[in-house]
Chains A and B, each alone.
Chain A
Amino acid sequence: MILSNIELHRAIDAGRLIIEPEPTPRFPAPGAHCPYDTHTVDLRLGDEIVVPNPGIFVYDHAQPERLSDHISRYSERFRITNRTPFKLERDQFVLGITHERIHLPIDASLSTCLAARIEWKSSRARCGLLIHFTAPTVHPGFEGRLVLEIINLGPSPILLTPGMFIAQLIVEEVKGIPSDNDPSEFQGQNTPTGGNLPIQ
């Protein structure tokens, strides 16, 4: 069940959904952008953009290696400001990060918890800006800022400015409490580098 704006407020008040800093105002007010729509809350772009550089390597996700180091080593980080926004060229792919930190705590004493999905905003999509084209799920228990996979498929460059409303969060109720610490949860990932213990 997707939470309405009112239920989003209740979840925040109850500590089941933590968004820091909390988006305000909760209701439309003169001269202020209300980040809440009927069942979404807008998130803003943070002040860092990461640009992957072309490398001489080929990613092989089937080959275990220090992938996180490779990805970081061959990318460049930019800090953006309102005076120095990032100019996203046509067909360019970069990573951004939300200004807000999201936390979906799991309270085992309850019979439900929350999960979320991050979606792009239709106003940005009309310009050809995709801000999160894969892996939109925010799992129960997650805590942190959300990394955005941004690509410009439009006909013109687009300026990325810190604080711009760039994405929207849709929060859903999960029926039951996930077996977060139960190894059986990870069945199907029975490989040498992940999942359950090897079968003997």
Chain B
Amino acid sequence: MSTYLLPCTVTPGQFSDEYAVAGQSFDGNFFSLFVPTSELHAPIVPSHQSPVEGVIEVELLKRQGDLGLIRLPRPTLENGRTVTVKLNSLMPTS
């Protein structure tokens, strides 16, 4: 199991200590979740009018061809805590 960074779109969360985060799975569908501000790397504070591109730390659980099953830091609102993404969307942590 390895840790990677996954690009995501960041907007304000409902509470002040969280962000709303959206990412894309391998088939282009979106998934979204709330992530504590302390667990997300965003260059600037986002607004709903001006979302920012950030990265979240994810764990790569399994590889299959050009796909990877990742575990997100928090559950998605759509379905569970794991999603499948394209491996080339993952970036090394350092």
Which A residues fall within an 8 A CB radius of B? 48, 50, 61, 64-69, 71-73, 75, 77, 95, 97, 144-145, 147, 181-183, 186, 189, 191-198, 200
Per-residue A-contact encoding for B20-50, CB less than 8 Å = 1, 0 else: 1110011101111110100000000000100
The 5 closest A-B pairs by CB, nearest first: A194-B79, A68-B20, A68-B32, A194-B80, A64-B29
CA distance A168 to B53 in the complex (A): 38
Complex A-B: 17 CB contacts under 8 Å: A64-B30, A64-B31, A65-B32, A68-B77, A69-B11, A77-B16, A181-B59, A183-B62, A192-B27, A192-B84, A193-B29, A193-B76, A194-B81, A195-B82, A197-B62, A197-B84, A198-B84
Q: Is the CB of B81 within 8 A of A186?
A: yes
Q: Is the CB of A193 within 8 A of B79?
A: yes
Q: Is the CB of A68 within 8 A of B69?
A: no
Contacts of A75 in B (CB 8 A): 14
Q: Is the CB of A181 within 8 A of B78?
A: no
Closest A residue to B49 using CB positions = A73
**Number of B interface residues in the complex (CB < 8 A):** 41
Q: Is the CB of A194 within 8 A of B31?
A: yes
New A-B pairs, 10, CB < 8 Å, besides A69-B51, A72-B12, A144-B36: A50-B14, A66-B20, A68-B77, A69-B22, A73-B48, A145-B17, A181-B1, A183-B82, A194-B83, A198-B26
Q: Is the CB of A186 within 8 A of B82?
A: yes
Which B residues fall within an 8 A CB radius of A? 1, 9, 11-17, 20-22, 25-27, 29-34, 36, 48, 51, 59, 61-62, 64-65, 67, 69, 71, 76-84
Q: Is the CB of B15 within 8 A of A66?
A: no
Q: A95-B14, A183-B69 are in contact. Are A68 and B79 (CB under 8 A)?
A: no
Closest B residue to A194 using CB positions = B79
Contacts of B15 in A (CB 8 A): 48, 50, 77, 95, 97, 147
Q: Is the CB of B59 within 8 A of A186?
A: no
Contacts of A189 in B (CB 8 A): 79-80, 82
Contact of A66 among B26, B32, B67 (CB under 8 A): B32
